[in-house]
Amino acid sequence: LVSRKKKADDTVVTLKGESIGNGTPQFIFGPCAVESFEQVDAVAEQVKAKGLKLLRGGAYKPRTSPYDFQGLGLEGLQILKQAADKHDLAVISEIVNPAHIEEAAEYIDVIQIGARNMQNFELLKAAGASKKPVLLKRGLSATIDEFINAAEYIMAQGNDQIILCERGIRTYEKATRNTLDISAVPILKQETHLPVFVDVTHSTGRRDLLLPTAKAALAVGADGVMAEVHPDPAVALSDSAQQMNFEQFDHFWDAIQQYLGVH
Ligand code: PEP
Ligand code: MN
């Protein structure tokens, strides 16, 4: 169902009047994790000020260590919704448990399925049954074929509102947190009719690489870019090394606008 051979036209996902996958790049910004209303509200204000509509934030955080911050859960989703409503934004947040999907649907506009859950087939089926747009991230060590099959699980339940997100894969290279597989973007665009995003934060794990990799993503035809922004990354409860502060966010955004020829 996700194959280009089945449908030649690009699938467009519409959110808050913004079209994802229609040729104009879109951007998703927000903190790694929801920490407080004040924190999300401050980021939402910056996003809104740039004329953007899409806000991310993790409430259920799949952390490598059980002793790391696990997220605020349902309270995090409520905070996100409160901030998003205040600034008229659409919310994207990761759900890790099929049992949480129905409840989460009240608070979020896009269900994110994280890299660690790309082959959690019951979660994929539940996201497919929900009919909410889904942002599906590539698994840590997933091949492109496995990634496409994961999207197929969602679409097989009748939900075609899927955004694929390349977020880096595990390789021997240690200079970056993961290795951004930039060629996955044109391959996914050729093989499927779905919009393709690139998450520059988790693929690189390096603040200094966010801008060049975002430009690379746009150059190879990505439908959009995701990056993390935090009011004070130094004290962030997760991903402290790669989130942008507001000044860096402004610089990143100006450079992207210039790259896209808006100014
Ligand atoms: C995230 O986007 O918050 C995240 C945890 O990313 P990934 O699943 O790609 O590691
Ligand atoms: Mn993160």
**Ligand 1, CB within 6 Å, residue ranges:** 32, 58, 94, 114-116, 137, 167, 199, 202
Contact, 129 vs 107, CB < 8 A? no
Residue 186 lies in a domain: yes
Total number of domains constituting the chain: 1
Residue 5 lies in a domain: no
Report, as ranges of residue numbers, the positions in the chain whose pLDDT lies below 70: 263
Residue 178 lies in a domain: yes
Å from CA of 214 to ligand 2 middle: 16
Q: Name the residue of 68, 70, 111, 112 to mutate for ligand 1: max ligand atoms within 8 A of Cβ.
A: 112
pTM reported for the whole predicted model:
0.97
Q: Name the residue of 28, 65, 167 to mutate for ligand 1: max ligand atoms within 8 A of Cβ.
A: 167
Residue 193 lies in a domain: yes
Residues whose CB is less than 8 angstroms from the CB of residue 194 and which lie 6 or more positions away in sequence, other chains included: 2, 11, 21, 151, 162, 163, 164, 188
Report the atom number in ligand 1 closest to the C-alpha of 32: 3
pLDDT at position 262: 77
Report the atom number in ligand 1 closest to the C-alpha of 167: 9
pLDDT digits (tens, 9 = 90+) for 232-249: 999 999 999 999 999 999
Å from CA of 37 to ligand 2 middle: 18
- First-to-last CA distance in the chain? 39
Nearest ligand (C-alpha, residue 63): 1
The ipTM is: 0.99
pLDDT digits (tens, 9 = 90+) for 64-109: 999 999 999 999 999 999 999 999 999 999 999 999 999 999 999 9
Report the atom number in ligand 1 closest to the C-alpha of 137: 9
Å from CA of 69 to ligand 1 middle: 14
Å from CA of 193 to ligand 1 middle: 23
- The residues that bridge with 138 in the sheet, in sequence order, are none
pLDDT at position 198: 98
Residue 7 lies in a domain: no
Residue 6 lies in a domain: no
User: What is the span of the domain harbouring residue 83?
Assistant: 13-259
Residue 3 lies in a domain: no
Residue 1 lies in a domain: no
Residues whose CB is less than 8 angstroms from the CB of residue 203 and which lie 6 or more positions away in sequence, other chains included: 166, 167, 168, 176, 177, 178, 179, 180, 213
CATH of the domain at 131: 3.20.20.70
Q: What is the 3-state secondary structure (H, E, C) of 14-61?
A: EECCEEECCCCCEEEEECCECCCHHHHHHHHHHHHHCCCCEEECECCC
